[in-house]
Amino acid sequence: MTPKSYACIQRFVHAYSELLANGENDLTGIAVDNGYCDLNHFIKSFKRFTGKTPLQYYKQNTDTAGK
């Protein structure tokens, strides 16, 4: 694994944790706080790692957690 790949994974993991902790209300803030240049960059990265957009992923996981 290259250092760049490792950094991308770590950035995603931190943003992912922040999304689950803080909810979907401030996706732009989560993106910027974690080093993504804009919301679109964050969404593309998130989808590459999970196969879903942050909003799709959050809604799916909060719906199943409440059942």
Task: Give the tens place of pLDDT for each residue, 13-28.
Answer: 999 999 888 877 788 9
Q: What is the pLDDT of residue 52?
A: 94
- The first and second tokens of residue 2, run together, are 């290259």
Name which residue leads in pLDDT, 24 or 46.
46
CA distance 36 to 31: 5
Q: Is the pLDDT of residue 32 over 80?
A: yes
Percent of the chain predicted with pLDDT > 90: 63
Looking at residue 61, its pLDDT comes to 80
CATH 3.40.50.720 fits 3-65, yes or no: no
Q: What is the pLDDT of residue 65?
A: 54
Which helix H or strand E contains 62, and what residues bound it? helix 54-65
Helix (H, G, I), strand (E, B) or coil at 37: coil
Q: Rounded to whole angstroms, how far apart are CA atoms 43 and 38?
A: 9
